[in-house]
Amino acid sequence: MRKKSRLFALAEALRGRRTGVTAQELADRFGVTVRTIYRDLDALQDAGLPLRADRGRGGGYALDKAYQLPPINLTAREGALLVALGRMALDQRLLPFSASLEAALDKVRGALTTSAQRELLRLVDQLQ
């Protein structure tokens, strides 16, 4: 695995955990040395990921709990698809987290430019 791919995979592995993970566990998972993991963790910190290291039981390396995903750029069509599927899931009560889904859909709509929002409305109408 190349370094860039490993860094992305390492960031995702840390993001997906509720507790810390040791450098040895990460080294075993990615098939590299512990020293390489330390260098990779330093590179992630230099890139702005808020990593923390906790000692003791349940400790290890973890992403700061307050860390949020970076903003993403969606096309009007991608936004329309997300909103349409979200609306369908809400209307059919497919998910138990309706308030969270509603908030996420609001964020998607709010992140789009005015012209993209107009395109979104047109595409949502076509999908329904």
Residue 69 predicted with pLDDT over 70: no
Residue 25 predicted with pLDDT over 90: yes
The CATH fold assigned to 3-63 is Arc Repressor Mutant, subunit A (1.10.10)
| pTM (2 d.p.) | 0.53
Query: What residue spans define the domains of the chain?
Result: 3-63, 76-127
Which are the contacts of 127, defined by CB distance < 8 A and separation ≥ 6? 80, 81, 84
Q: CA 107 → CA 17, 50, 101, distances in Å?
A: 25, 23, 10
Kind and range of the H or E run holding 109: helix 98-111
